[in-house]
Amino acid sequence: MSSPPPPPPTEMAEGEVESRDWAEMPSDALAAVFGKLDVTDLLVGAGVVCRAWRRLAAIDPTLWRRVDMSHQGDIMEVDEAVAMARAAVDRAAGTMEAFWADSFVTDGLLLYISERASSLKSLQLSMCLNVSNEGMAEAMKGFPRLEELDITFCSLYGDVCASVGKACPELKCFRLNERYTLQMDYAAPDIMDDDTEALGIASNMPKLRELQLIGNKLTNDGLMSILDHCQHLESLDIRQCYSIQMDDALKSKCSRISDLKLPHDSISDFKYRAYIFSSSAFSGSDLELDMYDDLLDVVTDDDDADFDDMDDYDDGGSDGGMYDEFDI
């Protein structure tokens, strides 16, 4: 005997909204959604909605493989941003492959990442004035798999390139960009010329394919050395490197580079261009310096997150105690 047909679905009254239990959403689908969120949204948004969401955000390391905090220095206090970065590193559980951040990064945070993310392949730092040559050199020892390193406006100079190259033998993309550039008309040659970084690159980064040195003081000799030793180089950006004089010998050397940007080429496509202090801004005897406040503006609809546990923050601890109390 066949079973009776199921009753017809009950019609919803007009204006009635169907309720859903978002906690029952399949974990793989939820992980795909979480993967589209940034660090802040995961830590203080999705991660506190319900126990199921909090658990997934806390224990799934795949959500933390690529951590982009490149605008957080603009919208929160340094200690808050550092604590969030540490939490992200801990949750990655050794699987983090990319970390991008700006002004809040310090020597201490960089070393913290270095000790816990040996699988890192991409590191991008911009305007990190609290990172020293010594701190960078020490941290780089923990990134043997690093393939991309971007250091933009970070006041790192001199032997930092040699230190990086020795510690990161797999480096394929290196960017070291300076904020202050002077043309020859405004500076003496002994101030302009410095091949320290260029020689460090030439001697220690043989696998480079992409090199960006905006505003560097390298000379023709330094560039020649790079071209001689970095045989895999495909992209070279030496815009605003005003000690470079493109003579016939250098043009011949550069002819093999498929993507070449020369000292006087436009920097209109460089995302930090508004922060460059260049002597080209001189008009007669007056300095005209354009500093655009909207370069790194982040449009948010919500107020900045409030963290009340900053008194518990410990520079040597895990997450500073700020994100440890997860009921999972």
Report pLDDT digits (tens) over 250-265: 999 999 999 999 999 9
Is the model more confident about 172 or about 50? 172
Residue 49 has pLDDT above 60, yes or no: no
Tokens, residue 42: 């995961």
Give the DSSP letter string of 75-137.
HS-HHHHHHHHHHHHHHHTT---EEEE-TT-BHHHHHHHHHH-TT--EEEEES-TB--HHHHH
Tokens, residue 313: 């923050």
Cβ count within 10 A of residue 165: 22
Residue 203 has pLDDT above 90, yes or no: yes
64 — pLDDT class (breaks 50, 70, 90): confident
Spell out the domain ranges in the chain.
Answer: 24-63, 64-181+189-276
pLDDT value at residue 323: 52
pLDDT value at residue 149: 98
Residue 127 has pLDDT above 70, yes or no: yes
Per-residue exposure over 134-160, b if at least 16 CB sit within 10 Å of its own CB, e if not: ebbbbbbebbeebbbbbbbbbebbeeb
Whether the predicted model's global pTM rises above the 0.95 cut: no
pLDDT value at residue 319: 46
48 — pLDDT class (breaks 50, 70, 90): low
CATH number assigned to the domain covering 64-181+189-276: 3.80.10.10
177 — phi, psi (to 5°)? -110, 135
Residue 117 has pLDDT above 70, yes or no: yes
pLDDT value at residue 119: 96
Is the model more confident about 285 or about 138? 138
Cβ count within 10 A of residue 257: 15
The CATH architecture of the domain made up of 24-63 is Up-down Bundle (1.20)
Summary mean pLDDT of the chain: 78
113 — pLDDT class (breaks 50, 70, 90): very high
**Which helix or strand (DSSP H or E) is residue 180 part of?**
strand 180-181
pLDDT value at residue 168: 98
pLDDT value at residue 2: 61
Mean pLDDT of 188-216: 90
